[in-house]
Amino acid sequence: MGNLKAKVRQLLGQSSPQYRAIRNSGLFDPHFYVTQNPDVSRSGQDPLFHYISRGELEGRKPNPLFDIRHYRAQVSPEIGEKTNLLLHYYKTGAEQNLESHPLFHTLYYRQQCEKQGLILELNPLAHFLSTGSILTINPHPLFDYRYFMAQATRFEVDDTNALIAYIHYPELWHIDPHPLFDVSFYFSRNSQLAESGVCPLLHYLSGDNCLTADPHPLLQGEWYRQQLMESADKDQNPLVHYLLNGRYDGKTPFALKSGMDGTDQKNACVKTASCAPSIGDSAEPTLDYGQLPDVIQKLLEEELISEPSLEDDQTDISKIDLTPYMKKKRDEIFRAGQAQREKL
């Protein structure tokens, strides 16, 4: 009798508008759901019905890039626990540019699609899961698809969705997901992180971790946040804000060390601070090492990176060429990945 009631309840649930809307949204992955929840597979229940009736309340993910806790933290407190969050994202949240996952930035993804001339007829996350990853459209400001895959050639990465592979396989955490997220540098600032079993990029994007350790020699998060204290963006992640807004607004990614303070520091970056000895008036501007963070000074002195070209008080730190440094790191990344796999 109990089994009959359960079957009737499931049949009624499968005919509900909520069930049909989620099924047609492209946001529920039944294969992923039963793989992550073997008990559902063993029970023989309809995976989507299980998710709607109890799975979401139990914190079970409907797809790899919908983090229930992360999403709930963004929605209005007026939305009760009985509201299905996946359906809310499908109908409302995506239009409000809420993030389904710490590494899926809805607004940024939409903008990347527009740059490629794509008109989104699907929900942004549904598009990425079905098509965007194949087209290598970046899902987040700190995950550069092509940059990541160029480093991952020695690993067997499923390039149909490199982001999902990156999140779930620890051996890939030693690969830099973005030119300005240096994993080795970040690990060196978080001595216990390597043994914690936490993805370094997710760690950096969580809470105030972005202020306690910097992701790259060219960014000082605490200093950068000080420049935002009087703006509506004061709680944003420093590197994400710099990439999306700050570099276009003249924000400086690190505090200079040439004796400047206040407004002068905020408006200055790698500048023509001294001139190299030369004959006549043909002096070429050179970099004043005293202006840069200590770690950059060291890399320059050891010739592991190239000096930036000094053009009209350029404030974009991408002008500092880190290519030689990155090449040197390739073997380090591979060796670290091998060591990680041997531990598993």
- pLDDT exceeds cutoff 50 at 305: yes
pLDDT value of residue 280: 30
Q: Could you tell me which of 257, 278, 281, 271 has the C-alpha nearest to residue 307?
A: 271
CA angle 159, 163, 164 (to 5 degrees): 90
| Confidence at 253, pLDDT banded by 50, 70, 90 | confident
Element (H, E) at 327: helix 323-343
Residues 21, 27 contacting (CB under 8 angstroms): no
**Residue 227, SS3 per DSSP:** coil
pLDDT value of residue 250: 78
**Residue 293, SS3 per DSSP:** coil
DSSP designation for 309: P
Tens of pLDDT, residue by residue over 91-145, are 999 999 999 999 999 999 999 999 999 988 889 999 999 998 888 899 999 999 8
| Confidence at 286, pLDDT banded by 50, 70, 90 | very low
**Average pLDDT of the segment spanning 28-45:** 93
- Count CB atoms within 10 A of the CB of residue 3: 7
**Residue 17, SS3 per DSSP:** helix
Tens of pLDDT, residue by residue over 47-97, are 999 999 999 999 999 999 999 999 999 998 877 777 899 999 999 999 999
| Angstrom distance (rounded) from CA 244 to CA 256 | 22
DSSP designation for 152: G
- Count CB atoms within 10 A of the CB of residue 46: 17
| Confidence at 306, pLDDT banded by 50, 70, 90 | low
Residues 187, 213 contacting (CB under 8 angstroms): no
Domain borders along the chain are: 2-101
- Count CB atoms within 10 A of the CB of residue 35: 12
